[in-house]
């Protein structure tokens, strides 16, 4: 018997239901039911999720919850929280929830409570950040630190960069944060040009401490510092490391006393709550960082304990499965109407696509249904003047999340209401569209009618929160992390490995010596030809 979820009765029922609902317009669902908003919105953990503008009914939810039951989602949630090795291909637990476990209840991995180590590293991070922020930590020439430069990539960059950007209103006045990720020397070079070596602290962030981009950038930054300050001993005052790999950190030349540890049960894209969050902590301070952790912990408790039908990540996850696998929507847009979240789409690209961009189940069986959508997006109002044309009148079904703050970080008169009016207007217009009749009444020379009609029926979630505080941001990120988990379970996918990133790395390792030594290779006609062309032009 085939073990794919698509061969279950629950899946078949949803398929049948989708054939019917595909013919129904959202505006008719609203016309039929004036309680839709009340029925299809949930408020929890300081967030309101309005999912009423989705192409679903109460029946849809029942069927999706049947699917969740069929996949034993509730059990899987318990297994995640109990520290079981849910990452089966790497035989690891996935315990980002332990990093923000403010209740401190014991969480066991291989029979050992991880909380004492989690708390010890957090305390060490707190002491270090306090000494940098207070000015007690001095650079090699005796000056306090002014610039924090995080060197890392993927999970060791995107999360901390996004959160640091989002919480700008909470930054220490003396400190400036920079994030270097790209191996293109332009990224590091342009940043170094702005920095004073005497007042710069580099954080080398890498779970493995073997990532090519990070190690090369770290080596170049180290050389730059030594050249500028004229002494290798300066490194001890200007470099710290965040890693699981003590030996590699030592070999690189960073004193293990200046290393902040984390563990193999923290996945890269789930690591911003660990020592990988050090740049965040340095910029916003311990009280705010603890608020950030507490926000995520609140959402964790919600995910673990609230019935699936009212559970925010479960609802968002199931709705996502509904669109990807049954409506065959290929993308999902992230549209923050909160400029501070400008890096959220890039962060979610890794979180979602590195977790779910897979086509075999955890048992290695090839799936026969679409899984992860392509994640993309940009801050709200800017997008309206760029790609929303396609959302309104293109040929694709594009589910979208609108993230909306009631209060902004600034009190410039008139701005926040302008933001809110646009956010509400867009979800309304995307959903309702404009019929030919209404278009005719409204305006339009008749010959332009078809150009001015909007078919509508574009589904959106709206997530509303009071203000983007550290606490709220913690809940938002945890919400998306758990949404990914829910979808992984529904699709039978392990969301915690990333074998798909390996092949490119291996090939690059064979091309680098060929480039360094001007050699030819035997890859394929195109690659070999491109290499020869580059050699010739050098």
CB of 536 to ligand F6P, least distance (A): 31
CB of 122 to ligand F6P, least distance (A): 19
Residue 211 near ligand F6P by CB under 6 A:
yes
Of the residues 505, 518, 520, 535, only one is catalytic, namely 505
CB of 247 to ligand F6P, least distance (A): 14
| Helices and strands in the chain, H and E counts | 24, 13
Strands 112-113 and 108-109: antiparallel
Residue 507 near ligand F6P by CB under 6 A:
no
Compute how many residues bind ligand F6P; rule: CB under 6 A: 14
Among 392, 463, 264, 321, smallest CA distance to 10 is for 321
Of 87 and 211, the one with the shorter C-beta distance to ligand F6P is 211
Of 154 and 492, the one with the shorter C-beta distance to ligand F6P is 154
The DSSP letter of residue 143 is P
Residue 494 near ligand F6P by CB under 6 A:
no
Per the listing, tokens 């401490």 go with 209
Residue 498 near ligand F6P by CB under 6 A:
yes
Q: Return the range that interacts with ligand F6P (CB under 6 A); candidates 150-158, 356-364, 394-402, 486-494.
A: 150-158
Pull the structure tokens for residue 97.
């929830």
Q: Return the range that interacts with ligand F6P (CB under 6 A); candidates 207-215, 217-225, 406-414, 437-445.
A: 207-215
Q: How far is CA 113 from the centre of its chain?
A: 28
Of 96 and 207, the one with the shorter C-beta distance to ligand F6P is 207
- Let me know if 198 is a catalytic residue: no
Burial of 13-37, coded b for 16+ CB within 10 Å and e otherwise, reads: bbeebbeebeeebbeebeeeeeebe
Among 47, 1, 24, smallest CA distance to 311 is for 47
- Let me know if 385 is a catalytic residue: yes
Residue 358 near ligand F6P by CB under 6 A:
no
CB of 155 to ligand F6P, least distance (A): 3
CB of 225 to ligand F6P, least distance (A): 21
78 Cβ partners below 8 Å, 6+ apart? 304
Binding residue (CB under 6 A) for ligand F6P from 93, 153, 259, 343: 153
Pull the structure tokens for residue 185.
């020397």
Question: Is the Cβ–Cβ distance between 94 and 496 less than 8 Å?
Answer: yes
| x-or-dash string of contact with ligand F6P, 253-272, rule CB under 6 A | ---------------xx---
Distance separating alpha carbons of residues 277 and 160, to the nearest angstrom: 6
468 Cβ partners below 8 Å, 6+ apart? 166, 167, 338, 340, 341, 405, 409
Of the residues 213, 290, 354, 481, only one is catalytic, namely 354
Residues in the site for ligand F6P, rule: CB under 6 A? 153-156, 206-208, 211, 214, 268-269, 354, 498, 501
Give catalytic residues, as residue numbers.
Answer: 354, 385, 505
């Amino acid at each position: 018997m085939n073990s794919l979820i698509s061969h279950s009765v629950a899946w078949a029922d949803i398929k049948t239901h989708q054939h019917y609902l595909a013919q129904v317009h959202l505006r008719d669902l609203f016309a039929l039911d004036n309680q839709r908003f009340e029925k299809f919105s949930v408020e929890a953990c300081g967030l309101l999720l309005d999912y009423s503008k989705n192409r679903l009914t109460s029946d849809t939810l029942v069927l999706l919850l049947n699917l969740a039951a069929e996949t034993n989602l509730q059990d899987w949630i318990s297994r995640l929280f109990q520290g079981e090795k849910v990452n089966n291909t790497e035989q690891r637990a996935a315990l980002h929830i332990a990093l923000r476990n403010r209740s401190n209840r014991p969480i066991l991995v291989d029979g050992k409570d991880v909380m004492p180590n989690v708390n010890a590293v957090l305390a060490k991070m707190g002491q270090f950040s306090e000494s940098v922020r207070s000015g007690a930590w001095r650079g090699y020439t005796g000056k306090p630190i002014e610039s924090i430069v995080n060197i890392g990539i993927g999970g060791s960059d995107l999360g901390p960069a996004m959160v640091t950007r989002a919480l700008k209103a909470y930054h220490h006045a003396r400190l400036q944060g920079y994030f270097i990720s790209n191996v293109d020397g332009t990224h590091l070079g342009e940043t170094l040009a702005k920095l004073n070596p005497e007042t710069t602290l580099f954080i080398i962030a890498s779970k493995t401490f073997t990532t090519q981009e990070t190690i090369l950038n770290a080596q170049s930054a180290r050389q730059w510092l030594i050249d500028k300050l004229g002494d290798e001993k300066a490194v001890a005052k200007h470099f710290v490391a965040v890693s699981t790999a003590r030996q590699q950190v030592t070999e690189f030349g960073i004193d293990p006393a200046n290393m902040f540890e984390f563990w193999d049960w923290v996945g890269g894209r789930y690591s911003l709550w660990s020592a990988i969050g050090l740049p965040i902590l340095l910029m916003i301070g311990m009280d705010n960082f603890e608020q950030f952790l507490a926000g995520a912990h609140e959402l964790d408790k919600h995910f673990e304990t609230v019935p699936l039908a009212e559970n925010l990540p479960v609802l968002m996850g199931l709705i996502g499965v509904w669109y990807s696998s049954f409506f065959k929507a290929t993308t999902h847009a992230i549209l923050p109407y909160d400029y501070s979240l400008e890096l959220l789409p890039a962060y979610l690209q890794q979180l979602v696509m590195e977790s779910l961009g897979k086509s075999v189940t955890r048992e290695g069986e090839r799936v026969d249904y679409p899984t992860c959508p392509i994640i993309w997006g940009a801050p709200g109002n800017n997008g309206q003047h760029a790609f929303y044309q396609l959302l309104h009148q293109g040929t694709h079904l594009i589910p979208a999340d609108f993230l909306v703050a009631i209060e902004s970080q600034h009190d410039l008169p008139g701005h926040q209401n302008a933001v809110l009016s646009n956010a509400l207007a867009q979800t309304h217009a995307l959903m309702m569209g404009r019929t030919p009749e209404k278009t005719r009444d409204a305006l339009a020379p008749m010959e332009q009618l078809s150009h001015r009609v909007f078919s509508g029926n574009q589904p959106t979630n709206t997530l509303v929160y009071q203000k983007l505080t550290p606490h709220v941001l913690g809940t938002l990120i945890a919400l998306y992390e758990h949404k990914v988990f829910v979808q992984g379970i529904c699709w039978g996918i392990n969301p915690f490995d990333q074998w798909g990133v390996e092949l490119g790395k291996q090939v690059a390792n064979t091309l680098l010596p060929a480039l360094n030594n001007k050699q030819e290779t035997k890859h394929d006609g195109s690659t070999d030809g491109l290499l020869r062309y580059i050699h010739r032009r050098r």
